[in-house]
Amino acid sequence: MKTSHFDYTLPAEAVAQRPAEPRDAARLLDARDLSDHRFRDLPALLEPGDLVVVNQTRVRKGRLFGKKVRTGGKVELLVLGRTGGEVWEALIRPARKVRPGTELDFGPLRATVLTSPAEGKALVRLEADGDVEEVLERSGHLPLPPYIRRWDGDPERYQTVFAASTGSAAAPTAGLHFTPAVLSALERRGVRLARIDLEVGLGTFRPVSTDDVEDHVIHPERFTLPEATAVAVRETVATGGRVVAIGTTVARTLETMATGPGRVLAGRGETRLYLRPGIEFQIVDVLVTNFHLPRSSLLVLLAAFMGERWRDVYRVALQRGYRFLSFGDAMLCARERR
């Protein structure tokens, strides 16, 4: 299938530059009947016995600004994840003229480049006076998506209210709309809550650059699916409830560990699962997600989930002034049954 099939015109003014306040005031488009809601209405749109699954990952404050020790040249580092010990994968800007052995100074953090950058990414040794993760949390900056310009709000607004495990380079944005009040309303409604952890990588921002969708390569992302969540999924399916994935990261994690319709295993590892039209979803019945970039793997996933109706939904959303991308509004859709 051609990548151009997943293109659409996204006006600049439709890209949200700041989050809704309060969180649950974000708009929510029910794709089943194209009705307009606020995110705080989500519990009423679900049924008792449903299971909502969220991604509890926390975004690492991994963006650092510093200089090259030898030349004093300015440099930016985006820490992506630990590969072992003091060695981390990072994105270096500018990557030109950065060679193995280059030393970088970021104040409380120091880095030594270990490998030549490939597409800007390299392995680096990070050192600090104390735990590196703790120093990053104190001194680093959140790596906001490149289409968000000059936002200087509370950094916690780019974290979900259930964020627990630091490791992501981007937020699981569908989860940004939740508030304690929404979670309480779900509980009163008889909707259960379960959690997974998937470390969102930079692949979230990368468009599909190949001519054919099938040729696109998904970068691996680490995940954990707890036993309690696997049990909750199995119990929900057994009692006729629906599994509601909050975001594409949750959908990919659940479908990665699926062993058949309604059956999922607990575990941890890396996933390269690329959900695209023609691939059957085994676990997820309902998907709550933000509006995605043209030609992105996330939009391809949405098309795989709900079919060609995504085009009408996006057209209506743009006509009605919904806000798109990470700080934007959300939609709720049901799986296309074949």
pLDDT digits (tens, 9 = 90+) for 99-126: 999 999 999 999 999 999 998 999 999 9
- Torsions phi, psi of 188, nearest 5? -65, -30
Q: pLDDT over 90 for what percent of the chain?
A: 91
- Amino acid 153 reads G
Checking if the pLDDT of 336 tops 80, the result is no
Please state, rounded to an integer, the average pLDDT across all residues of the chain.
95
Average pLDDT of the residues in 18-28: 98
Checking if the pLDDT of 205 tops 70, the result is no
- Amino acid 82 reads R
Q: What is the per-residue pLDDT for 119?
A: 86
| Crossing angle for the helix pair 297-306 and 310-319, to the nearest 10 degrees | 110
Other residues' Cβ atoms within 10 Å of the Cβ of residue 268: 12
**Spatial CB neighbours of 24, under 8 Å, sequence gap ≥ 6:** 38, 39, 40, 177, 178, 179, 181, 182
Q: What is the pTM of this model?
A: 0.95
The string of pLDDT tens digits covering residues 151-162 is 989 999 999 999
Confidence of residue 150 (pLDDT cuts 50, 70, 90): confident
Confidence of residue 176 (pLDDT cuts 50, 70, 90): very high
Confidence of residue 218 (pLDDT cuts 50, 70, 90): confident
Give the number of residues written for the chain.
338
Nearest to 5 by CA among 219, 214, 281, 280: 214
Q: Are 275 and 304 in contact (CB under 8 A)?
A: yes
In our burial notation (b when 16+ CB lie closer than 10 A, e otherwise), range 20-58 reads beebbebbbbbbeeeeebebbbbbebbeeebbbbbbbbb
Checking if the pLDDT of 287 tops 80, the result is yes
Q: From residue 184, give the alpha-carbon distance in Å to each of 74, 179, 180.
A: 47, 9, 6
Checking if the pLDDT of 177 tops 90, the result is yes
Burial of 105 (0-12, 13-18, 19+ CB in 10 A): middle
Q: What is the per-residue pLDDT for 106?
A: 97
Distance CA(286)–CA(46), nearest Å, equals 9
Q: What domains does the chain contain, in order, with CATH numbers?
A: 3-59+154-334 (3.40.1780.10), 63-139 (2.40.10.240)
Average pLDDT of the residues in 276-292: 96
Cis bond upstream, residue 94 (ω within 30)? yes
Report which DSSP code applies to 337: P
Checking if the pLDDT of 241 tops 90, the result is yes
Q: What is the per-residue pLDDT for 304?
A: 96
Strand residues in 262-311 grouped as ranges (E): 263-264, 267-271, 286-290
Report CA dihedral (307, 272, 213, 309) to the nearest 10 degrees.
Answer: 10
Checking if the pLDDT of 7 tops 90, the result is yes
Q: What is the per-residue pLDDT for 144?
A: 92
**Do strands 27-30 and 330-334 pair parallel, antiparallel, or not at all (unpaired)?**
parallel
